[in-house]
Each structure stands twice: as C-alpha cells, then as structure tokens.
Amino acid sequence: MAEYVLTEKNAVLSDAVNASAKRTLHIPFGAVTANVLFASLAAVILTAPKPGNVQSPAAFLTAAAAIELIFLIVYFKGKKKSTADIVSLIYAFLLAWELFNLSGLAHPVLVPPPENVFNIFYVNRADMFEGLLASMSILLQGMGLALFFGIIGGLLVGYVQRLREIFLPVTKVISTIPPLVYTPYVVAVMPTFRAASVFVIFSAVFWPTFMAMIARVGSVDEKIIDSARVMKVDLPTMLFKVILPYSLPEVIARLSFSFTSAMLCLTGAEMLGASAGLGYFVKKFSDYADYTRVIAGIIYIAVIITVLNVLIDLLQKKVIKWKY
Amino acid sequence: MPHIEIKDLTLEYTDANGGFTALDGVNMAVEQGEFVCVIGPSGCGKSSLLSVLEGLNKPTRGEVLINGEEVTSPGTDRGVVFQHYSLFPWLSATGNIVFAMKRSGISGKRKELSAIAHEYLDKVGLSDSYDKYPSQLSGGMKQRVAIARVLAANAEIFLMDEPFGAIDPKNRTELQELIAMLAAEEKKTVLFVTHDIDEAILLADRIIYIDDKRVKADITVEIQKPRTRASLVGDPKYNELHGKLMKLFYQNVADNIGGEEVVL
C-alpha cells in the first residue's frame, strides 16, 4: 500500500517535471508552420519560371503579405493557436493553386493563375469599390429598416398577449420561407431594382427578427416585470428601459445570422437585374466566361463578409457585455 | 395612526380551475419604524400579503392603508427586496440603483446620482463593485445591492419577501445583521417575510404568525436590541420564544395529519 502511494506520488512528480519542461521548451508549431508556408509561397512566386500568360505578381505578393501582417498582429495580441492553423490552411491553398498553375496542368481559362486573379483587385479597383458602395448602401438600408421595425414591432406585439397569439404563429410560417424563393418575383414587381433589393433584404431580416423579439418579449421573466412594476414604471419605461434591454441580446445574437441571409439575398438579387454591386460584378464576368474576374469577385465578397462579421462580433460583445 | 394598516384583507385568485383563497380576513397594523417579521409555513399566504402591499395584487375584500391612504397600485414609498431577480441584469450595480432613484423622482445629473449610489453601495459593503453587473456578483452581493437600492430610492417602507432565503448561512448572518443595523439607523418601517424562526427572532420587534390564510399569533419580541446570533444563544427569552414558534409550526403539522398525536 505504502509503496503504491509512493510510486503514484513519484508519477505525479515526474508528470509535473515533464509539464514544466514542456513549458520551457514549448515550440509554437502552428505559428512555425504558417511562417514556413508563407516563406515558401513567397519564394515560389518570386523565383519559379512563369508561363507567358502570367501577369505581375505584385498584387498576389501584397495580398499574402497583408495576410501575414494581420496574422502576426492577431497572433501576438491573442496568442490563439487556431489563428495560425487557419492561416496555414490559406497559405497551403494558395501554394497549391500556384504550383498547380506552374505545373502546366491547369486549364488556362477555368483555373486562372493566382497572380492574374489578385491583379484584378488592382486593375478593377474602381469598379470593385463602386460595387461595394452600391451593395452596402442597399444592405444597410434594408437591414436597418428591418431591425428597426422588427425590434419595435416585436416589442409592441410581444407585450400584448392577444396580438402575440395572433402574430407568433403567422410569423413562424412566413419567416421559414427562404427570401431567395420570391426574389425573382419581387425584382419583377418592384418599380426599381434598388427598391426590390431593399425589400428582399428587409424581408430576409425582418421576419426572423420580429419573431425572435415577439417570442422573447412574451417570455420575459415574471420576476423582472414585477421588479419593474413595484418601482411604478410607466408603459414607455417598461417597454424601452426594461423589456427592450432584456430582449436585445436575443436579437443581437442573431445578427450575424441575419446578416448572412441578407448578404445571400443581396448577391442573389444582384445577379438578377442590377447594374452595380458585388453580385453583379461576378454575374457580369461569368457571362463573358472571364473566370479570372469571377474568382476575384468571389474572394472579394468573402473578404467583405468576413470583415463585416468581425465588426458584428465586436458590436455584440459591446452591447451585451452584461451577459459575460 | 399606524404606518401600515391592514383591515379584513381577503385575497382570492381566479384561474381556469376556479378560485383559490390566499388570504382570508387578515387584520394587522405596523407602527412607524417598527420591524415586523411575518412568519408561517409555505403556502400560508405570507407572500400574498406582501404582494397586496406591493400593489401587485388588489384585495378581493378589505383594504390596506399606508399613512391612512388606501393602497391601489405600486408606489415608490415602498421599496421591495425579492428573493430572486430583484436587479436588472443589464444594468451595473450603480445603474440599478440610479434607475430606482430616478423612478422615485430623485433628479440630478447622472454623475450626482451615481455618487449617491456609490455612497449606499459603500454602506452595504460593496465599495469595490460599483460597476459590476449582477452576473458578476454572488447571491449575497446581489441582495446587498437590492438593499442599497431601496435605501437610495428613499422608500419609507421596506417590503422584504424571504430576501435571504437563497443565501448560504455565513452570508445570511452577515446580511441579517446588516439589515437590522440599517433599518434602525434609517428608521424605516420593515415588513419582512420569512419561514426561518431564528431569523425572525433576530430581526423583529414583533412577529406575526400566519397560517391557513389568517393571522394566528402576534408576538412582541422582548429581547433587547441590537441582537446578534451569539447574544441570543442561551438567552431564556430566546429559548421561550423559539419554543413557542416551534409549537405553532408543529401544531400545523399535527392538524394536517388529522389531529392525532405525532411523535417526531
């Protein structure tokens, strides 16, 4: 018995020694991998002999350097291991793409060289920026209206039991219809394409927001209501200073989801009848089989969505900090 | 004139299954500055009594008077501490207190109100938690904020519904001593609902025993204030009172079993 205890103690001790040894000799493999991949990518871009159709690698190199810079900032600020792994994955993909094109196996039209794709960001920068503005103004307008009316409407409807019992089942049905289904019809019916797009985004965001708000307001903890009532709050105070802040996290938590579906509707609608915008950019050039620009457009949309999602995350943490 | 007067108060709830009587002809009075504990087994109607005083429920018959005026709705002359969820989770400790102060008609710049809120937080021993949210506070700390809130809102009457029922024993003792001290210092009239006999004896000037929807006993606590847990131990008056209240609770058990003698 005594021996057993002793050995166990030793085992614990040696574990502790191992652990401390690991700490001192810890190598951040993820970060090393990411940087090795970055270096190889840069080396290949700069030194490998290129076929004649490949344009200047300046834009491609700039993009890789930008990724590296963001990675280094995020890594040293937060030391999150997953960042290194995600960045490694991006470098590996770009490297594979580059090598595939260098090998000569790639179809020159269907799989354009990455240098040419990234070059588009420079060549078409004015078009792309204009597209971004066009899309964002529609997106913000549609989402802004939808959030405003969804939150206020849900607050009022949710507070009145009778209205709640009418609207909750109705909105449950409506909010399950994917807006993409009726997008072509809306584009045909509405007087302008812009109005149609705003309307589609509005419906994509409004119904889920409205529904979530009604449900949340309807299930406010009785004790919260009582605490407010004993302080003799009037109706506006009850709605806007008690129930609204109580319910808002629910809506904010869905914001990135709402945003994704709004983006989906917007790019979808733009492919139907726009004359500017992110989706329009992709659609126009795929009609001409200009896949270099199509791929650039897709990457552009992905980057914008990512940036906006990061902003939404920050907003969430700020608005609902009391939940953490 | 008593500060609070309850006359022939009857409260019936109606729901889908018909009616339910929560209180049946309750009469009692509380003087200015008095600390009264309402005690009784669960389901006896003590919380219903408080809900009428809070203005959340309207009496079916009878009336509740405060300073001679009938209570018909909630009012900021009464400060309430519930057992749970007294605080708004989206406001900081300071924010919760400022909210209540504004509701009580205390006006001023945000900064001035915050400064007053901080004073009351100091008073309840939360000097380092001004900006914490309820989710960052322990159960005992939340109740301290709730107490600071009713103090800051300048309510004349404190209505406390088993406020320390969910707090661990060590913190509960501290909170009991805190509320006893503050109520005496600020000369508040307190109606404190509990099912804890020791808590009632420690705090009350008078203990009202409610059972079966009616007042069954009204006992003045003759033990010198201030009291502490330690000073009560071995005090013959404490032992006598504790025994008396135990008997009331025990009587209820015996009744429920059909009047036969019960050996516990």
Is the predicted pLDDT of residue A12 greater than 70, yes or no?
A: no
Q: Taking a contact as any Cβ pair under 8 Å apart, which residues of chain B between 129 and 188 contact chain A?
A: 133-135, 153
Using a CB-CB distance cutoff of 8 angstroms, which residues of chain A are in contact with residue B153? 231
Give B3's DSSP letter: S
B72 touches chain A (CB under 8 A): no
| Residue B253 pLDDT | 63
pLDDT tier, A107 (very low <50, low <70, confident <90, very high otherwise) = confident
Cβ–Cβ gap B82/A227 under 8 Å: yes
Cβ–Cβ gap B100/A227 under 8 Å: no
Tens-digit pLDDT profile for residues A135-186: 999 999 999 999 999 999 999 999 999 999 999 899 989 888 888 788 888 8
Cβ–Cβ gap A229/B74 under 8 Å: yes
Residue B109 to chain A, least CA–CA distance (Å): 18
Cβ–Cβ gap B86/A227 under 8 Å: yes
Interface of A with B (CB under 8 A): 221, 223-224, 226-233, 237, 241-242, 245-246, 321-324
pLDDT tier, A4 (very low <50, low <70, confident <90, very high otherwise) = very low
Is A181 in contact with A131 (CB distance < 8 Å)? no
Beta strand pairing call for B18-30 and B69-70: unpaired
Q: Which amino acid is at B263?
A: V
| Residue A140 pLDDT | 92
Contacts of B229 (CB under 8 A, 6+ apart): B173, B198, B202
Is the predicted pLDDT of residue A21 greater than 60, yes or no?
A: no
Q: In this predicted model, which residue has the larger pLDDT, A45 or A79?
A: A45
Q: In this predicted model, which residue has the larger pLDDT, A197 or A25?
A: A197
- Cα-trace Rg, chain A: 27
Cβ–Cβ gap B135/A221 under 8 Å: no
Which ipTM value was assigned to this complex? Answer: 0.84
| Residue A235 pLDDT | 93
Beta strand pairing call for B61-66 and B4-15: antiparallel
In degrees and rounded to multiples of 5, residue B56 shows phi and psi of: -80, -25
User: Per residue of chain B (264 residues), what is the pLDDT tens digit?
Assistant: 889 999 999 999 887 777 888 899 999 999 999 999 999 888 788 889 999 999 999 999 999 999 999 998 999 899 999 987 679 999 999 999 999 999 999 999 999 999 999 999 999 999 999 999 999 999 999 999 999 999 999 999 999 999 998 888 888 998 999 999 988 888 899 999 998 999 999 999 999 999 888 898 999 998 888 888 888 888 899 999 999 999 888 876 666 665 555 444
Q: Could you tell me which of A99, A97, A90 has the C-alpha nearest to residue A48?
A: A99
pLDDT tier, A132 (very low <50, low <70, confident <90, very high otherwise) = very high
Q: Could you tell me which of A179, A189, A137 has the C-alpha nearest to residue A265?
A: A179
> Between A231, A321, A323, which is nearest B100 by CB?
A231
Which DSSP string corresponds to B145-211?
HHHHHHHHTT-SEEEEESTTTTS-HHHHHHHHHHHHHHHHHHT-EEEEEES-HHHHHHH-SEEEEEE
CA of A128: how far to CAs of A36, A65, A122, B26, in Å? 32, 21, 10, 77
> What is the arithmetic mean of pLDDT over A123-132?
91
| Residue A24 pLDDT | 54
In degrees and rounded to multiples of 5, residue B80 shows phi and psi of: -115, 135
Asked whether the bond before B226 is cis by omega within 30 degrees of 0, the reply is: yes
| Residue B250 pLDDT | 80
Tens-digit pLDDT profile for residues A229-248: 999 999 999 999 999 999 88
| Residue B230 pLDDT | 84
B78 touches chain A (CB under 8 A): yes
Give B91's DSSP letter: S
| Residue B227 pLDDT | 87
| Residue A242 pLDDT | 93
Please state, rounded to an integer, the average pLDDT across all residues of chain A: 86
pLDDT above 90 as % of chain A: 44
Is the predicted pLDDT of residue A221 greater than 90, yes or no?
A: no
| Residue B212 pLDDT | 85
Interatomic CA distance for residues B120 and B178, integer angstroms: 13
Torsion angle defined by CA atoms of residues A302, A307, A308 and A313, in that order, rounded to the nearest 10 degrees: 120
Cβ–Cβ gap B88/A232 under 8 Å: no
Interatomic CA distance for residues A279 and A298, integer angstroms: 9
Cβ–Cβ gap B91/A230 under 8 Å: no
Residue whose structure tokens are 């339910």: B20
Residue whose structure tokens are 């920026």: A129
Using a CB-CB distance cutoff of 8 angstroms, which residues of chain B are in contact with residue A246? 88-90
The overall pTM is greater than 0.95: no
Cβ–Cβ gap A322/B100 under 8 Å: no
> What is the arithmetic mean of pLDDT over A317-324?
76
B20 touches chain A (CB under 8 A): no
Pick the residue from chain A with its C-alpha nearest to B81. A227
| Residue A7 pLDDT | 46
B56 touches chain A (CB under 8 A): yes
| Residue A25 pLDDT | 58
Is the predicted pLDDT of residue A9 greater than 70, yes or no?
A: no
pLDDT tier, A64 (very low <50, low <70, confident <90, very high otherwise) = very high
Residue A224 to chain B, least CA–CA distance (Å): 6
CA of A103: how far to CAs of A98, A100, B119, in Å? 9, 5, 75
| Residue A53 pLDDT | 80
Q: Which of B103, B143, B160 to mutate to test the interface with A (most CBs of A within 10 A)?
A: B103
Q: In this predicted model, which residue has the larger pLDDT, B39 or A255?
A: B39
| Residue A3 pLDDT | 42
B74 touches chain A (CB under 8 A): yes
> What is the arithmetic mean of pLDDT over A117-126?
92
B45 token code pair: 């109607």
Is the predicted pLDDT of residue A256 greater than 90, yes or no?
A: no
> Between B75, B80, B85, which is nearest A224 by CB?
B85
Give B101's DSSP letter: H
Apex CA A148: angle with CA A142 and CA A150, to 5°?
A: 90
pLDDT tier, A5 (very low <50, low <70, confident <90, very high otherwise) = very low
B197 touches chain A (CB under 8 A): no
Is the predicted pLDDT of residue A52 greater than 80, yes or no?
A: no
Q: Which of A227, A248, A250, A320 to mutate to test the interface with B (most CBs of B within 10 A)?
A: A227
Three-state DSSP string of chain A: CHHHHHHHHHHHHHHHHHHHHHHHCCCCHHHHHHHHHHHHHHHHHHHCCCCCCCCCCHHHHHHHHHHHHHHHHHHHHHCCHHHHHHHHHHHHHHHHHHHHHHCCCCCCCCCCCHHHHHHHHHHCHHHHHHHHHHHHHHHHHHHHHHHHHHHHHHHHHHHCHHHHHHHHHHHHHHCCCCHHHHHHHHHHHCCCHHHHHHHHHHHHHHHHHHHHHHHHHHCCCHHHHHHHHCCCCCHHHHHHHHHHHHHHHHHHHCHHHHHHHHHHHHHHHHHHHCCCCHHHHHHHHHHCCCHHHHHHHHHHHHHHHHHHHHHHHHHHHHHCHHHC
Q: Could you tell me which of B90, B8, B6 has the C-alpha nearest to residue B50?
A: B6
Using a CB-CB distance cutoff of 8 angstroms, which residues of chain B are in contact with residue A245? 88, 90-91
Cβ–Cβ gap B55/A230 under 8 Å: yes
Domains plus CATH for chain A?
2-122 (no CATH), 124-319 (1.10.3720.10)
> Between A221, A224, A231, which is nearest B76 by CB?
A231
| Residue A1 pLDDT | 41
